[in-house]
Each structure stands twice: as structure tokens, then as C-alpha cells.
Amino acid sequence: MGPPKVWKTGAVVSTYPRPLLVIEGDEGGLDGIVEPVTWLTSQDFTGLVTPSPINAVAFKTATSLLSTNYTPNPDVKSFDVFNSIGNAILKNCPWKTVVVDPITAVSDVILSHFFVKNPGLMKDARKWAAPVGLKVKQIMEAFYTLPCHVVFIMHTTVNRVTNDEGQVVSSTQEPVIYSKLRDFLGSVPSQFMYQDQKVVGGKATAYVQTTPDAKVRGIGCRWPVSLPSEISPPTFTAIYGKDAQ
């Protein structure tokens, strides 16, 4: 997880084992990839045996026209498309790496789907946030059963705590996920890392943080056990070594 525009997608798609599939929900999310990307449709997964080095498939359908309604877009199809892609991969996965970019977009299409199915519950966030968060968790757990590397990319937001005078006393980076799932999301995957950039020698350099601190809570890795707290550049080999391919 990490802020926008810090090379999260690029670090994964450009360096993780091939063949690689990106389930893309972020407009322009693959703009920074310099290698050829072969785009598939949701119908292409039936019987697919020999994938390209980098495949991608979009799960968001065309958005509805603008309106003055203060509700989520009434979109059922996007989540249906995502589920059909996911079920096809669970039945046949010829890829070494599967990337969902980002899980934030998946939670948005789940919310739109929930709105269409249960419009009367949208007035109270306590009635829709928990089911949406639970569905996100179920999706992640299902994908983690795949016999390959599975990566969920997440956006983050800054949660600031202020005192009675309005002064910021603490701030933390948290994943943009509906419901309290954000508080224990790090317990779901084996590896939960935070990616950002810092300026080194006048140049922006990407890095991943592998241990929690006051600004980023809940992150951590189960393996390798000897990982440093920061790794730069955040490539697959730098994190896991050559033997993990």
C-alpha cells in the first residue's frame, strides 16, 4: 500500500515473475510500464494456456452518465465482471504472478453493486460498510489460494488526530478500505508493505517499508526473516532473492 504516484504498480509489474496478469481497475494504472502489455477481455480466460509475459484485463465497465444523485453509481456489471475473471483464474491459472490493481477500486465496485441490490441500506454506513469490507476480505482470501504470487495494491490516506485546539498530535497512513477491515488488513496477507518515495541526492527514489512505526501501523513480512526495515529499489529480487522466482 502507499500514496498515489510512488511506482507501486511499476515496481510489481516490472519486476515480479512472468508470465504476469494485472486485473486493472485504475485508469492509467499501467501508463508507466514500458514493456508491451497484452490486454485481454473477460471472455479470453476460457481455455487460455499460453499467456503473454504481461497480460492485463480491465474489470470496470463504462460508467453511467453524470447525475445530481448523491449515491454511488448504480453499477452491477463491474463486480460481476470482476467475479467472472476471478473464478476463471481460480479454475485455471497459467500465470506466475497475479496482481489486483488496486483493491481500492474493487471495494468501490462492490459498494456500487451493494447499492443496487440494497438501496434502502445506504443511508446508514453501519449497514453497508461491514458487508462491503467482508466481501473485500473474502476476495483476498480466495485469491491467496492461487498457486502463484498474488499482489493486492492499495491506496492510502492520512488519518490525522487533533487535540481540542485543532493541533495535529499524530498522523498515520491507512489503507483506503471501507469498514474496520482497514484496522486488521495486515493480518490477511503474508506480506504487508508500505511503499513511498524519498529524495536522495536530488532524485526521487522509491522504497518499501517492511516494519511498522508511528506513521505506518500493521505492516510486516513473514519471510524472508532477515529483511531490513527499508528496501530500495522495491524490486522482487531485492525483497525475496533470486531463488523465490
Region 59-78 average pLDDT: 77
Q: How far apart are CA 10 and CA 208, in angstroms?
A: 13
Q: Is residue 206 part of a domain?
A: no
Q: Is residue 121 part of a domain?
A: yes
- In one letter, which amino acid is 203? K
| Domain coverage including residue 136 | 8-176
Please tell me which of 74-78, 98-102, 127-131, 225-229 the model is most confident about, judged by mean pLDDT.
98-102
pLDDT category at 86 given cuts 50, 70, 90 is: very high
Q: Is residue 209 part of a domain?
A: no
| CA quadruple 222, 228, 234, 237: dihedral sign | negative
Say how many domains are in the chain.
1
Q: Is residue 192 part of a domain?
A: no
pLDDT the model gives residue 63: 64
pTM over 0.95: no
Q: How far apart are CA 151 and CA 82, in angstroms?
A: 16
For 165-205, the pLDDT digits (tens) are: 777 777 888 888 888 888 888 889 999 999 999 988 888 89
For 177, the grid coordinates are: 478500505
